[in-house]
Structure 1
Amino acid sequence: MSEKYLIGVDGSEQSRVALAWGLARATERGAAVELLHVADDSFLSESVAFLSEAQEASEQMLQGETEYARSLGFEGRISGTAVVGHPIAEVEEASRHADLLVLGAHGGSRFAGSFFGTRAVKAAATAHCPVAVVPKHEPGTGVVVGVDGSEASQRAIAFAAEEASLRGAPLIAVYAWMPPLTPGLEYLWSEELVESQRAAAEEAIAIGVAGLAERYPDLEIRREIVQSPPVAALVQAAEHAELLVVGSRGRGGISRLLLGSVSHGVLQALPCPVIVTRA
């Protein structure tokens, strides 16, 4: 069974950047595409007439974006859903039946159907599938993945390795560490402390990438150990990359709303397209 990509649309330039990215990926992977437009009902009257008009406007927006998708040359399977409701709730429900959710990125929109900017962070926290947030960017090289030894990181590495292999790009595994001391007191760091931190980092990366060489014989794996806060390290490493992959620790229930400081931080910076993997 082929994959299905759910792509949020609202007619904005940022949305169309993500749409083009998602369609290109779907073409490469033979995936089906579903476009989703949500007319936010938060500020709408609850009268039947207003809601009916909002639904009609949502359907018109969806039709226009479907035609735009075809104008880009996409020849694969494409469907669409236009709804009136709470954007995050509607996206979460729709993501139950998708293999990847693709969203544009900007700080806000005049369109009632927009669920981007900070809402993209919320969507990434609540979605039931991996989420790609795509900014306007120059094509780069390499797939960067954050490594920290956690189960979430292990899932991100597996996802990133497959991405890098399919793209014929190097996998750049980044482990960022900071000694557990107050900044400015670096002179108190002992050589033993620094060496133990580096050893732990090297072990975490070694465990994280174990088995990848056998599974992907042609995959180039680069290991980077950086003495820096994780978000800063990943953003810098991905500045000229084609993709950054990070893991989410959400495991269901209320904990799914806690995206994690690293995932949240890179989604705010967006040095390149970012995919947040799910449990």
Structure 2
Amino acid sequence: MSSKYLIGVDGSEQSRVALAWGLARATERGAEVELLHVADDSFLSESVAFLSEAQQASEQMLHAETEYARSLGFEGKISGTAVVGHPIAEVEEASKHADLLILGAHNGSQFAGSFFGTRAVKVAATAHCPVAVIPAVASAEPKPGVVVGVDGSEASKRAIAVAAEEASFRGSPLIAVYAWMPPLTPGLEYLWSEELVESQRSAAEEAIAIGVAGLAERYPDLEIRREIVQSPPVAALVQAAEGAELLVVGSRGRGGISRLLLGSVSHGVLQALPCPVVVTRG
């Protein structure tokens, strides 16, 4: 059974960059594509006439973006859904039936129906499938490598599994990044000692070793690079992934209050978007 990619469209330049990225990936992977346009009803009258016009406008937008997708040369299976509603809720519901959700990144725009700014972060927190957020300006020649954050958590292990498959498929190195900072004691400077540095390095090496265990057997040709960085995690990942093919980070999952909290690292890299970012699911 082929994979299904759900791509949010709104006719903007940012959305079309994400659409092109998703279509290229779907072609490579033999995946089918569903385009989704949501007309935001937050500022609409609840009258039947207004809602009917909004639905018609949504369908027109979907038709235009479907035609645009075909103009890019995509020959795979493509379908579409046009709805009126709250974008976060509608995308969350649609993500139940997708293998990957793809969104563009909008900075500062607040057009009705668009997937912009913090909405990408909120969608990534609530979606039922992995979410790819694509920068508005794609790197013409990305440097080879799939970057993944490692911290020893279950979320990190899931991210490593996804990143390894991606790197193997692309024939690119897997770059496993572990970032650490010395503990901060209130009112004091950072406390340094050779023992502290050595213990942190040992913990980092152990976390990476556990995280990548078994990958050599599964992907014999996969090159794995290990980077241990003394830096805040977001800064380390953004720097390592600047211009890279892909950055993969793990989420906390979807339970209780955690479904509303993406996590500071995932949130931070989505705000910076040094390259296409995939947020994996629990």
Aligned-residue offset at 1:106:
1.4
Tell me, what secondary structure is at the counterpart of 1:242?
Answer: strand
Q: Which residue is 1:156 aligned to? A: 159
How far residue 70 of structure 1 moved from its aligned partner, in angstroms, is 0.2
* Secondary structure at 2:89 match in 1: helix
In structure 2, relative to structure 1, the CA distance for the partners of 1:87 and 1:192 (3 Å cut) is: same
CA separation in 2, counterparts of 1:260 and 1:82? 30
Deviation at 1:112, TM superposition (A): 1.5
2:121 matched residue in structure 1:
121
Alpha carbons 2:183, 2:190 under 8 Å: kept: no
After TM superposition, give the deviation of residue 184 of structure 1 in Å.
Answer: 10
SS of equivalent to 1:120: helix
Match of 2:99 in 1: 99
Decide whether the 8 Å contact of 2:182 with 2:190 is kept in 1. Answer: no
CA deviations 1:182-223 (Å, max 9, x no partner) are 599667311101100110000000000011011000000000
Aligned mates of 2:190, 2:149 — CA distance in 1 = 28
2:219 corresponds in structure 1 to 216
In structure 2, distance between residues paired with 1:8 and 1:64: 13
Q: For residues 1-279 of structure 1, what are the structure 2 equivalents within 5 Å?
A: 1-135=1-135, 139-182=142-185, 188-279=191-282
CA distance in 2, matches of 1:267, 1:110: 18
CA contact (8 A) 1:35 1:81 kept: yes
What SS is found at the alignment partner of 1:142? Answer: strand
For residue 144 of structure 2, give the secondary structure of its aligned residue in structure 1: coil
Contact 1:37-1:82 at 8 Å conserved across structures: yes
Give the whole-Å Cα distance in 1 for the aligned partners of 2:84 and 2:113. Answer: 8
From the superposition, tell whether residues 213 and 186 of structure 1 become closer, same or farther in structure 2 (CA, over 3 Å): farther
Number of residue pairs matched?
277
**Contact in 1 for aligned 2:126/2:254 (Cα 8 Å):** no
Alpha-carbon distance in structure 2 between the residues aligned to 1:62 and 1:200: 50
Shift of 1:254: 2.6
Contact 1:14 1:104 in 2 (8 A): yes
Native 8 Å contact 2:96 2:128 kept in 1: yes
For 1:128-185, what per-residue CA distance to the aligned partner results, in whole angstroms no more than 9, with x for missing partners? Answer: 00000000xx533200000000000000000000000000000000000011125996
Q: Provide the secondary structure at the position in 2 that maps to 1:143.
A: strand
Percent sequence identity is 92
Deviations along 1:50-105, one digit per CA (max 9) or x if unpaired, are 00000000000000000000000000000000000000000000000000000000
Which moved further from structure 2: 27-36 or 177-186?
177-186
The CA deviation at 1:110 is 5.0
Q: Secondary structure at the match of 2:270?
A: helix
Does structure 1 retain, via aligned residues, the 8 Å contact 2:178–2:227?
yes
SS in 1 for 2:142: coil
RMSD (Å), alpha carbons: 1.4
Cα displacement (A) at 1:113: 1.2
8 A Cα contact 1:250 1:257, kept in partner: no
Q: TM-score of the superposition, structure 2-length normalised?
A: 0.96
